[in-house]
A and B are shown apart, each in its own frame.
Chain A
């Protein structure tokens, strides 16, 4: 049986709202609109006498200056993902229990850490950086860990008997059993897990449906519990909701720094540099302002990024106060792309493909091209542009004997000859294209203009002279 750890975040939305330390005194509650109950509250609100489950009216009468935010499950789910992403560097198997729980599989991780205490120290230390409140518990089944964590056991142990004892003490309602089943069980006098687990399974399966038996199997860890594990995205993305609206750009620096420090830690763990950040400033009742900040050489330090962002912000005018910030790291590059040659010193080491990808990303696909060569006598057909690195590279294939002198630069469209030239070569006749719609009947000459330029001319079947290339 494997050991599981469950982390329960009771005040996730509250913790995510950016609050300044000196502003802590301001009472803040999060209200569930449907049930009109206080679901989360900060220390200041608690000091005023507000408690969980209180209605808005009662809370407001206790403290008139309380600020109220609406509970939003989606915000919590998003934050939960962020926490999972954050923890991923310390522990591998994470499962999301939306909106406010994380399940971690510990057994596999203990190979990397000395023992459970050390693992928990590393994990909790890492988690504390985020500054969220959490309750935790472990058990030998996902259901068991979840049950104990939600009941704020807050103890780490791998003692199987003791953990089982803890589960037995819990009331059935707190588990994940269907409420209908729970009330049916209560009617026959089964209120605690101890009662339920004491019953023989065969008896239970006769009177209750298979769901109960399955549940018992899973909470005792005897039945396999399928879990979908979290796979982290490759990108850094962080959303920060502001506690108060910001209308002055200078006040943005503090919350921005908080996000950038997260980015810095993320990049350091991955040993990468970001070359481009995208910052969304969410404005009240207005469209988001999107800023793209790039640092060519790549950067991970928060203070450097902050300086760059502040430069960018200085040229922005805001239409409305800002209520939230989203920071995304768009392009990550490897940190050690500089290698030192003994003789030549530092040298960049970006592959051709990487360089081309960078150019295409910024300039667009149609602005970066490679050269290609087709087997065709018509110069404008033979010499065409193509996607980079897709040309037919085998040059041996081209017949050496047909190596004719060709100009280095070819005009995209032949231009009428408008200067006096001296023809320096015998004609080269090209008559081709009778097989498709582009027929060419031309006599090509090499000529030198009066000012010394070497031109590639042709005379068409109407005896018109055109310049087609330059021996540049």
Chain B
């Protein structure tokens, strides 16, 4: 028994809760947002990342730096079953090449998973975003993880419904909610790390129009009564 544990430790397969946090691990993809990178020890982990969010608060804008990284590596970004049409104008304005985007809209869930596995495994695809409301099974997540490993790629599953059970072997489960300065995020589950309380991802420098400027400290709101 002890022998086995030792061997697993040697292979770096056992994580100690006391292990120092903050060391960037192997296979981490920077998210481009300082707060998030700090919380995730360097960025999104390679593998299956689940993002639970309402549509329209900035969840896709959160991934744009990842897409930009794909452009520098000259690899594809594949989008499976997006909720609406992707706006080419917005993507080009962010400096993304349209040629590197592939939109796939499979008919059934099993086809979607098949396509996801093919893309992730291929190595041609840097990151894959899948909009899905169907819960995934353990074996499906495992397969997708293996595919990510084979192709050195990154999978995001965006869903509007409640986050899935933490018993699933997801690499990261993140909940997003709207915030005036950008997004408010909470880590529900992650591999080799602890869940976190909610923290703010500041987007005001990237998207000044889409954030509400923080009121300066020295301004006192005019009392409603006196406003007449």
Contact = CB atoms under 8 A, between A and B. Distances in A.
B58 interface: yes
Contact of B85 (A356, A388, A411): A411
Nearest to A471: B210
B55 A470 contact: yes
Interface of B: 27, 54-61, 64, 75-76, 82-93, 95, 97-99, 101-107, 111, 114-115, 117-119, 121-125, 149-152, 177-180, 207, 209-210, 212
Where chain B touches its partner, the secondary structure class is: mixed
A408 B124 contact: no
A351 B124 contact: yes
A160 to B, nearest CB: 58
B102 A407 contact: no
Given A352-B76, A355-B122, A410 B103 contact: no
A470 B84 contact: yes
Where chain A touches its partner, the secondary structure class is: mixed
Nearest to A339: B123
Nearest to A472: B60
B124 A355 contact: yes
Contact of A363 (B97, B106, B209): B106
A346 interface: yes
Contacts of B180: 452
Interface string A338-382: 100100111111111011101100110001111111000001001
14 contacts: A296-B118, A351-B124, A371-B86, A372-B98, A382-B89, A383-B86, A395-B97, A404-B93, A407-B90, A408-B90, A446-B210, A470-B55, A470-B56, A471-B61
B43 to A, nearest CB: 15
Contacts of B102: 356, 359, 368-370, 388
A391 B99 contact: yes
A4 interface: no
A472 B210 CA distance: 11
A350 B99 CA distance: 17
A51 B178 CA distance: 91
A425 interface: yes
Contacts of B152: 341, 344, 347
A454 interface: yes
Interface string A5-42: 00000000000000000000000000000000000000
Contacts of B99: 370, 389, 391, 393
Contacts of A455: 56
Given A348-B151, A472-B56, A406 B104 contact: no
B208 to A, nearest CB: 10
A424 B86 contact: no
B96 to A, nearest CB: 8
A405 B27 CA distance: 33
Contact of B87 (A391, A406, A425, A453): A406
B54 A412 contact: no
A398 interface: yes
A393 to B, nearest CB: 4
